[in-house]
Amino acid sequence: METEQPRDEVNKVNETLQTTTDTGNNESEILDEQVKNIINPITTTRKGKAKSSRTTKNSIYLVVALLFIVFIVLYNNQEWFITNNALLIQFYGLLWVAFTFWLIRWIFTNDLLNPKREMIAHGEGDPPPDLVRKRGFLDFFVGDDGRYSMVRLQVVAWAYIIISYQVAVLIALKINYKAGLMDFKPVFTEEVLWLLGLSLASYVSIKGITAAKSEGNSIQRATPKLADFITADNGLDFSKFQMFIWTLIAIITFLAQGTPFIVAARNYNDRTLINRLFEVPDNNKDKPPVPLPSLPWSFVVLMGLSQGAFVGKRLVPTFKISEAKDKRKLEIEELKLASQNKIKLLEESLILKKDDPAIIKELFENKTKLSDLDRELKELESIT
């Protein structure tokens, strides 16, 4: 018995030591897990920033290299390029304008023009609210409700195409030994100005309609998706879809119409002919040797009808069954609360005035009303 008792005590001590060791190991594991939870986000953030920085640098190198290669091709004036250069010049204009947009955006989003930039970078000041979120080129297309806007896409697309076309004409004149940048004149046909004006008018109208509808109500900003360009809350939006198709056709037609003009600006050897290229067509004068890029007036009218259908649809109130159901449910809840309070007061009054017929009748009516409201609420919840 004396021998067994020390053994039992030794076993208890060993169990206590083992429990302490296990507890220490568990605490150590928990501590390690907490440290990992703290370190992992920091590491992930640093990796994300490093990856983003590398992506930005690689994009810059790629664009600069592409611009340099195209410039070399333009400058060397190869024989195959002399006869087939219009598309490449147009592509170079598109690329150059895209790079300029990106450069301007990079300067402003990185706050390079802010004299306090170094202080902000070292944590000695708060950045402006607009610079907390890095804005990208796609923000040009985001409307006031947070979704991608078809009318904004159209305005930006037309502005981008027209500007890049002017840049392409400048490039064509620059590589023409008989011409120069001084021969350039930014001229546009009435049809193109009308198309751009229709897009801008639609943009302003839609913004005004959105502001009027949101007056007194908070706008719930959604997450932008590419499908927003041709869809609405109820699915595919035909007014958006048809405007997208007509805009795409108009841009392709405009670029195709501009190809002969760029070829002429690149290859003409007569300064008189080059100057006549930039003359606005007039019925009282001879027409230019190559017309400015334009679209038929019938197509401009078609685009106007397309824009009118799109804006008109936004003016018509849209019925949403979910909104109507939520509104009615809120009204029912308010009526139920009022009836419940009324019933409570009537029951208290009935205690003081027993068997009062008027109180009993009013109490019955309110209970019936409350029952009807409960039934209507159940019917609303069953509607999908």
| Gyration radius from the chain CA atoms | 36
Instruction: Write the DSSP assignment of 124-167 as a string of letters.
Output: SSPPPGGGTSPP-GGGGGB-TTSSB-HHHHHHHHHHHHHHHHHH
Amino acid 248: pLDDT: 92
Mean pLDDT of 103-129: 57
Tell me which of 270 and 228 has the higher pLDDT: 228
Looking at every residue in the chain, the average pLDDT score rounds to: 72
pLDDT of residue 315 exceeding 50: yes
3-class state of residue 291 by DSSP: coil
Q: Read off the tokens for 120.
A: 């902000």
Amino acid 121: pLDDT: 47
d(CA 32, CA 22): 15
pLDDT digits (tens, 9 = 90+) for 9-33: 545 545 554 554 444 445 555 545 5
Which contiguous run of DSSP H or E holds residue 335?
Answer: helix 321-352
> Which distant-in-sequence residues (6+ apart) come within 8 Å of 214 by Cβ?
144
pLDDT digits (tens, 9 = 90+) for 237-265: 888 888 899 999 999 999 888 888 888 88
3-class state of residue 82 by DSSP: helix
Amino acid 72: pLDDT: 57
Residue with tokens 């594991």: 29
Asked if 254 and 295 count as a contact pair (C-beta separation under 8 A), the reply is yes
pLDDT of residue 45 exceeding 50: no
pLDDT of residue 35 exceeding 50: no
pLDDT digits (tens, 9 = 90+) for 178-188: 777 777 888 78
- Enumerate the β-bridge partners of residue 148: 142
Tell me which of 234 and 135 has the higher pLDDT: 234
Asked if 93 and 70 count as a contact pair (C-beta separation under 8 A), the reply is no
Mean pLDDT of 195-218: 79
pLDDT of residue 95 exceeding 80: yes
pLDDT digits (tens, 9 = 90+) for 138-195: 778 888 777 888 888 999 999 899 999 888 888 888 887 777 777 788 878 888 889 8
Percent of the chain with pLDDT over 70: 62
Amino acid 2: pLDDT: 44
3-class state of residue 326 by DSSP: helix
pLDDT digits (tens, 9 = 90+) for 63-91: 666 666 666 555 555 444 444 577 788 88
pLDDT digits (tens, 9 = 90+) for 277-314: 777 666 556 666 777 888 889 999 999 888 888 888 77
Other CB atoms within a 10 A radius of the CB of residue 64 amount to 11
What's the pTM value of the predicted model, to 2 decimals? 0.60
Amino acid 42: pLDDT: 45
Amino acid 69: pLDDT: 62
Instruction: Write the DSSP assignment of 5-22 as a string of letters.
Output: HHHHHHHHHHHHHHHHHH
Q: How far is CA 125 from each of CA 41, 115, 135, 232, rounded to the nearest angstrom? A: 24, 12, 21, 42
Q: Read off the tokens for 60.
A: 């810059």
Asked if 210 and 145 count as a contact pair (C-beta separation under 8 A), the reply is yes
Residue with tokens 């019938």: 298
d(CA 281, CA 377): 69
d(CA 231, CA 250): 21
Amino acid 119: pLDDT: 47
d(CA 358, CA 364): 10
Amino acid 11: pLDDT: 55
3-class state of residue 104 by DSSP: helix
Amino acid 249: pLDDT: 92
Asked if 153 and 142 count as a contact pair (C-beta separation under 8 A), the reply is no
Mean pLDDT of 29-45: 49
pLDDT of residue 47 exceeding 50: no
* C-alpha closest to that of 97 among 63, 146, 129: 63
Amino acid 68: pLDDT: 64
